[in-house]
Amino acid sequence: MNLKNIIEVLIHSTPNPVFSKEIISVLEEDHIINLPEIINEINKEYAKLDKGYRIEKIGGGYQLLSLSDYHPYIEKLQKGVKKPRFSKAAIETLSIIAYKQPLTRGEVEHIRGVDSSGIIKNLLEKGLVSIKGRDGGLGKALLYITTPIFLELFGLDTLADLPTLEELSQLLNEERNSI
């Protein structure tokens, strides 16, 4: 059977991202498979046929996603369904945890300058952050990290997809020079 078709079918079979190692374990091929290249070929075919979806690398796995152009139609079809919403404070807290993880609540609060326990609790409940362990310091505070759900929700493959701090400080410097 066509290897490319099998891989495509596997990714089509679930709404969740499928990990490379899951695909490879199913295939039972002896030789090494260049998965990213095969996915790329499939996506090229979709583009050629002008299809409304593509396979993307999300949270370390491959996921079939509709193109954003078609968003208004899907939204109309699903008018009752609520998408997760985040407050400014929640995204602020998430970004601090994403960059500085693992870190304690105290460290988050030092940067934000305000109590963040409620927000962190909420993010924990939504499964966007989790507890990694305890700090070795005084009080043995809990350490927080982001989860794969965070990556999936924000459409990131790995944490490395976030803008680097260098890129951001460059932005800051440009701003500073413009003053």
Partner 1 sequence: MIKDSYSIKINNFEGPMDLLLYFINRDRIDIYDIPIFKITKDYLKYIDIMEKMDIDLGAEFIYMSTLLIQIKARMLLPKVIDENSEEIDDPRVELVHRILEYKRFKNISNELHDKLELHSKRYPKGTLMNFSPAIDVNNVLPVDVKIFDLAKTFMNILNSLPENNELNLVIEEITLQEQINFIRDILSSKKIFYLTEIISNNSKIYVINLFLAILELIRIQEIDYKQTKNFSDIMISRLN
Residue 61: DSSP 8-state: E
Compute the least distance from the CB of residue 178 to partner 1, in Å: 9
Closest to partner 1 by CB, 31 vs 76, is 76
65 touches partner 1 by CB under 8 A: yes
Structure tokens at 59: 């949270």
Closest to partner 1 by CB, 29 vs 47, is 47
Residues 125-164: x where in contact with partner 1 by CB under 8 A, - otherwise, as a string: ----------------------------xxxx-----xx-
Longest dimension (CA), the chain: 63
Please name the residues in contact with 129: beta carbons below 8 A apart, sequence gap of 6 or more.
94, 97, 120, 123, 144, 145, 146, 147, 150
Q: How far apart are CA 179 and CA 176, in angstroms?
A: 5
Q: How far apart are CA 149 and CA 147, in angstroms?
A: 5
Compute the least distance from the CB of residue 29 to partner 1, in Å: 25
49 touches partner 1 by CB under 8 A: no
Place of tokens 């066509």: 2
How many residues in total does the chain contain?
179
From the list 23-31, 38-46, 90-98, 130-138, the region that binds partner 1 by CB under 8 A is 90-98
Nearest to 149 by CA among 74, 36, 63: 63
Residue 69: DSSP 8-state: G
Q: Is the dihedral of CA 167, 95, 100, 106 positive or negative?
A: positive
Closest to partner 1 by CB, 31 vs 176, is 176
21 touches partner 1 by CB under 8 A: no
Identify the residue among 23, 94, 120, 128 touching partner 1 (CB under 8 A): 94
Task: Provide the binding-site residues for partner 1, judged by CB under 8 A.
Answer: 12, 14-16, 56, 63-68, 71, 74, 77-78, 80-81, 83, 86, 88-89, 91-92, 94-96, 98-99, 110-115, 153-156, 162-163, 165, 168-169, 171-172, 176, 179
